[in-house]
Amino acid sequence: MDNGARLEKDPTAKRLSQVWYLDNGASNYMTGDKIKFSMLDEGITGEVKFGDGSTVNIKGKGSITFKCKNKEERIFDNMFYIPCHYNNIISLAQMSEEGNKVIMLRELLWVYEKDGRALMKVKKSVNRLYKIMLEESPGACLHTQNTKMEEDSWLWQCRLGHVNFNAISTMK
């Protein structure tokens, strides 16, 4: 991974950035912005080693929910929280391992979901980086108060801690 993409010079930009780098050299999703997480387990620790031999400490692992242009949301699980990391990284290798199809051709990069739907189309920048603006979703807490759940899928979604419906279908 390019050190220029790893550490940004302006520390105030860290908390404000919605820029995510799509990196084919990174082994994991990672960000230094704790507020982006919809769920974070700070009990998970360790180190990430970069191509130049340097290491940084992992201070947690969790999920970030992103808003899509079509108003849907996508959850990126297994995201490392690395407080000293000044940029947001999406590992293309991790996306591929999760079943997504990644295509890089000339100046464009496409990511397709398992079902074939396009997830991202990103144009390469002049310095050969693929950057995308992604807006995090704060997530919604679904709460019912003495109401009867009419659909089994919603009942199980609540019982399983608001897991996404794809996970429920997989469990069936």
| Same domain? 119 vs 93 | yes
pLDDT digits (tens, 9 = 90+) for 76-100: 999 999 999 889 999 999 999 999 9
- Nearest residue to 81 via CA among 58, 65, 47: 58
169 and 129 within one domain: no
Two structure tokens written together for 153? 């899928």
Question: Do residue 110 and residue 132 come from a single domain?
Answer: yes
Q: Which residue has the tokens 């919604």?
A: 140
pTM strictly above 0.95: no
pLDDT tens figures, 98-117: 999 999 999 999 999 999 99
pLDDT tens-digit map of 130-156: 999 999 987 554 444 444 445 565 555
Claim to verify: residue 131 and residue 146 sit in the same structural domain: no
